[in-house]
Amino acid sequence: MSARPDEGLEHAVLHEIDGGRDLVVGLFLVAGSLAQAEQVAAEVVARALSTCSELADIALVECGAVLPLPAFESLAAREPREPE
């Protein structure tokens, strides 16, 4: 993968689906928000696709991020704030 040290990539996994016709790339990132994680993931994958000749025939179709359960539970346990 072509991640820079400041992008927070901790781990990457690759899964083949549909008999190897499609790929799912999982990136484990440390980011300040889900939006930032999605942006960094898209940039890292796009960079890898554009610089690695073995990946020349692969296209990025979708990019998303999920909040790990412990982080979600921590947010849910916080006191609700009054609307501004």
pLDDT tens digits, residue range 37-76?
Answer: 999 999 999 999 899 898 888 888 888 888 777 777 777 7
Domain extents for the chain? 5-77
Which amino acid, one-letter code, is at 62?
E
Q: Which DSSP state fits 56?
A: T
pTM over 0.95: no
* Distance, CA of 38 to CA of 35 (rounded, Å): 5
- Asked whether 55 and 44 are in contact (CB, 8 A), the reply is no
